[in-house]
Structure 1
Amino acid sequence: MEQVLIHPVVDDAERIDNLADDALKLLTRIIATPSFSGEEHGTAALITDFLYGHHIPVHRNYNNIWAFNKYYDPAKPTILLNSHHDTVKPNEGYTCDPFEPVMADGRLYGLGSNDAGGCLVSLLSVFVYFYDDAHLPFNLCIAATGEEENSGYNGLNAVLPQLGNIAFAIVGEPTQMHMATAEMGNMVLDCVCYGKPGHAARNEGDNAVYKALKAIQWFSTYQFPKQPAFMWPVKMSVTQINAGIQHNIIPHECRFTVDVRLNSCYTADEVLDVIKSYTGCEITVRPGVMQPSSISHIHPLVLSGIDLGRKTYVSPTSSDQGWLTVPSMKMGPGDSARSHMADEYIFMDEIREGINVYIHLLNNLVYRLIHNPELPLSYPC
């Protein structure tokens, strides 16, 4: 295969340093502003002010903020740059104020610093970098969205129809700036097994716990036969269980929750049909089923990342990629292992590196498209 040379990017070290400084200032303000899922109005205002400060027109729906590059051309393909500004609630293990941004030992501490504040401010900076470039062979759309942590319908899902025809997406989540080219989907099931109450001292009643145990045993051992080349098998994990009202009463119902990770071989409905046929449980699917997502390893974006020494992998966690029906790649500064941990942090150098790698990635893509304008950006997964 003919080797594609990396686009010879002019050394923009000073400009990238300035972007990184501004990104860190924005991130400290975001950390200091509580933004639990569905309550992101404060951080939405901060992001709006940041873009306005760069003379960029902004659109808003709910707490979602988006903008297009200055020379947007509907005849060109559009790349979506997306990350979220909502957070989970801080856990009890915090030893510091989760809403007080603290810089120490090269780290920035605070709730949402790693997941996904660092990714968000890096992508915003990259959008600013390319905003007024009149010669891009594609459009850029930046979308800072809410309700990612609870898979809410008023996040990215609510604004996708207003973003136009997206060719593919880069979703900002902490990946150490490597490329998650596939992501498992997610479906959560609330299951109930029914029995009949009776006195525990006598041979009466029908124990719902024993019925649930049979179903749980099936969940722990069943393997779906089909497996894609670049994803893991469907995975089912029982994560919660509740039954009984008193020690001497046979429980008449047992409720348990199952976390299901989906691959591209089965639709959510197909997986659900198999589960129902084997378990006999009453099953309710929680809203917000996230579909598996991927991008081809020969997509120009992925090849551009490989040229930069970025690795590819399959992500076990779900994100807003699950709302997308176009090829998408998860990539961002930070480490997924730090997400939702107590005393969450991101290394400040990771943000500068993230901005730098994102810029080189898109410049590399520009180079490929200039030399081969027929390259398909909506390359099938």
Structure 2
Amino acid sequence: MFYNAPMRLLTQIEKQRVCDLLTSLVGINSVVISPEQANHDRAEERMADFLNDHLHKMGMTVELREVYPGRPNLIAHWPGQGGNRSMMLESHMDTVSTEGMTVAPFAAQILNGRMYGRGTCDTKGSTAAFLTALAIAAESGQLPNDKLYYVGTVSEETGCLGAAELVKSGFRTEAAIVGEPTGCRVVTAHKGPLWMEIETRGKACHASVPDEGVNAIEMMSRIVAFVHGPWKEYLQGRRHPMLGASTMAVTMIDGGMMVNIIPASCKASLDGRLIPALSAKETVNDFQRMLAAYLGDDTDFVVTKIESNPPLDCPSDAPLTGRLLELCGRANGQNRPEGVHYFADSGAFYQAGIRTVLFGPGNIAQAHKADEYIEVNQLFQATEIILNLLTEHAGKPILCNAE
């Protein structure tokens, strides 16, 4: 164990190095608003091209795997490095829109110990920390005896499609650290999103004679009552020790044509967040069955769209998890695994059998915000934690249960 070992801290030159890299990453417009826009703008390709060049200079072999035209996942490793065990450091290359930002989105300006700009927090800060730590460890000849990969994915902000395609193609490692703004804490669990669209179908008529029609909006109001009544109670029946209960909320409603017409159709969107014990398929089946029983024969409804992403529930005693928790304990006192309510690429990796945790600098409260920023000291701390994870196992495997 390494509980009492002093942390290897960054030098001033190394601190400047990680700041310079993050400045370069933030300066690349990799905004993805929709898959259609991304296919046209090739925003993620700009990030992939920069990272390709940067990783080649680090001596890594880089493979670009196109997920959609102009939108490649990136996989890098050192040829011939590592033994039989493998792990990846992963972060997504896309960011959300810059619309409404109150700071220059691509300037990476540092003020009062914070670097501002789109992606500083989510999640180019993690990318800079991971790559700087890898580079320093490699240059000093202190890499562990695990086959190390850096992976950059596309389309995390629009459904984690890049990660899903990566595992679909057969890519696997034994363990993974997914870069997200966890405040330099180790996250081992998150919920899985479940999105549904539901439509009620009535009969239109003139609003002056409402009894001659069937009001689809009134039907939908009964579904809203179900979601916030019996269905909420049902979801509360199963809980996760870190995540609590699953949730579901009605987030959009669209109904009616004109003020003087009884609406024949009403549509609603539902956002569910499921604990790992609940599968999306079984939850949808239970929802439809219970809703039909609640409504009886009076309401005609149909679920028109279902989308979901997998949750994360990695054992806290997995080798990589234990070592990362140990280092976080030494660096910031946070040596207990945590759960979060948002989701990330981690779900796809964990579902594929990869022992996965979330870790990175930044506060999730700043992700997607108009004044997005990262605390520079957290950027340094994340780099130090990953660097120590690598160098303290120089020539030895990280992924080994025996010390």
The TM-score range, normalised by the shorter chain, is 0.7 to 0.9
Please tell me the residue identity of whatever aligns with 1:85.
Answer: M
1:217 maps to 225
* Aligned residue number for residue 350 of structure 1: 378
Deviation of the 1:9 alpha carbon:
6.0
Residues 173 and 66 of structure 1, relative CA distance in 2, 3 Å threshold: same
Alignment partner of 1:283 is 2:303: yes
Q: Quick one: which amino acid aligns to residue 50 of structure 1?
A: H
Q: Is the alpha carbon distance of 1:164 and 1:244 closer, same or farther for their aligned partners in structure 2, counting shifts above 3 Å? A: closer
When residues 162 and 355 of structure 1 are mapped into structure 2, their CA distance, relative to the original with a 3 A threshold, is farther
The aligned amino acid for 1:68 is H
- Residue 19 of structure 1, CA deviation: 4.0
2:113 aligned to which of 96, 106, 121: 106
- Contact in 1 for aligned 2:188/2:356 (Cα 8 Å): yes
1:365 shift after superposition: 6.5
Give 2:75's aligned residue.
66
Shift of residue 163, structure 1, vs aligned partner: 7.1
One-letter amino acid matched to 1:22: R
Residue in structure 2 matching 1:144, options 142, 152, 171: 152
Q: Which stretches in structure 2 are left out of the alignment for 5+ residues? A: 33-37, 67-71, 293-300
1:178 aligns with 2:185: yes
The answer for the alignment partner of 2:297 in structure 1 is none
The one-letter amino acid paired with 2:247 is K
2:105–2:118 CA contact under 8 A, matched in 1 = yes
Task: Compute the displacement of 1:41 (Å).
Answer: 1.2
Mapped partners of 1:66, 1:305: distance in 2: 23
For 2:309 and 2:401, how far apart are their aligned partners in 1? Answer: 32
The equivalent of 2:281 in structure 1 is 269
* CA displacement at 1:97 relative to structure 2: 2.6
Q: How many angstroms does 1:165 deviate by?
A: 3.5
Q: Measure how far apart 1:140 and its partner are.
A: 1.2
Counterpart in 2 of 1:83? 91
SS across alignment from 1:279: helix
In structure 1, runs of 5+ residues without a counterpart are: 377-381
Aligned residue for 1:22, secondary structure, equals helix
Q: What count of residue pairs does the alignment treat as equivalent? A: 366
Residue equivalent to 2:207? 200
Aligned pair partner of 1:6 in 3, 8, 18: 3
Match of 1:191 in 2: 198
Residue 254 of structure 2 is aligned to residue 257 of structure 1: no
Please tell me the residue identity of whatever aligns with 1:26: L
Measure, in 2, the Cα distance between the counterparts of 1:28 and 1:174: 17
Distance (Å, rounded) in 2 between the aligned partners of 1:87 and 1:195: 41
- CA displacement, residues 126-161 of structure 1 (integer Å, 9 cap, x when unaligned): 2223447576232211101111000153x1222335
Over the residues paired in the alignment, what is the CA RMSD in angstroms?
Answer: 2.5
1:105, distance to aligned residue in structure 2 (A): 1.6
Q: Are the equivalent residues in 2 in contact too, given 1:185–1:261 (CA < 8 A)?
A: yes
Given the superposition, is the C-alpha separation of residues 11 and 234 from structure 1 closer, same or farther in structure 2, using an over 3 Å criterion? closer
SS at match of 1:55: coil
In structure 1, C-alpha distance between the alignment counterparts of 2:394 and 2:239, rounded to whole Å: 35
Q: Which secondary structure state, in structure 2, belongs to the residue aligned with residue 13 of structure 1?
A: coil
Change in Cα spacing, 1:65 to 1:229, as seen in structure 2 (3 Å) is: same
CA distance in 2, matches of 1:164, 1:18: 36
| Cα drift, residue 198 of structure 1 | 1.4
Deviations 1:308-365 (A, max 9, x none): 3124211100111121122211110000000011021112222111100122244566
Note the 1:44-59 alignment, pairs <5 A: 44-59=48-63
Query: Following superposition of structure 1 onto structure 2, how do residues 299-310 of structure 1 map, counting pairs within 5 Å?
Result: 299-308=318-327, 309=329, 310=334
Residue 12 of structure 1, CA deviation? 5.4
Evaluate the alpha carbon distance shift between residue 87 and residue 127 of structure 1 in structure 2; reply closer, same or farther with a 3 A threshold. same
Question: Is the Cα–Cα contact under 8 Å of residues 69 and 131 in structure 1 kept in the other structure?
Answer: no
1:314 matched to 2:339 = yes
Per-residue deviation, 1:266: 1.6
> TM-score normalized by structure 2?
0.83
Q: Tell me: CA distance 1:50–1:367, structure 2 relative to 1, closer, same or farther (3 Å).
A: closer
Q: For residue 293 of structure 1, what is the amino acid of its counterpart?
A: L
Q: Which residue of 2 aligns with 1:332?
A: 360
Deviation at 1:194, TM superposition (A): 1.0
> What is the alpha-carbon distance in structure 1 between the residues aligned to residue 6 and residue 58 of structure 2?
23
Q: Does 1:244 align with 2:256?
A: yes
Aligned partners of 1:187 and 1:285 also within 8 Å: no
1:295 and 2:314 equivalent?
yes
1:21, distance to aligned residue in structure 2 (A): 2.3
Relative to structure 1, the CA distance from residue 41 to residue 286 in structure 2 (aligned partners, 3 Å threshold; closer, same or farther) is farther
Question: How far did residue 375 of structure 1 move?
Answer: 4.7
- What residue is the counterpart of 1:379 in the other structure? none
- TM-score, length basis structure 1: 0.88
1:27-38 mapped onto 2 (5 Å cutoff): 27-37=22-32, 38=38
Shift of 1:188: 1.1
Shift of the 104–131 alpha-carbon distance from structure 1 to 2, 3 Å rule, reads same
CA 1:80–1:250 in 2, change beyond 3 Å: closer, same or farther?
same
User: Which secondary structure does the structure 1 equivalent of 2:90 belong to?
Assistant: strand
> What residue in structure 2 maps to residue 21 of structure 1?
16
CA distance in 1, matches of 2:191, 2:302: 25
1: CA distance between counterparts of 2:303 and 2:147? 44
> Relative to structure 1, is the Cα distance of residues 157 and 145 closer, same or farther in structure 2, using a 3 angstrom cutoff?
same
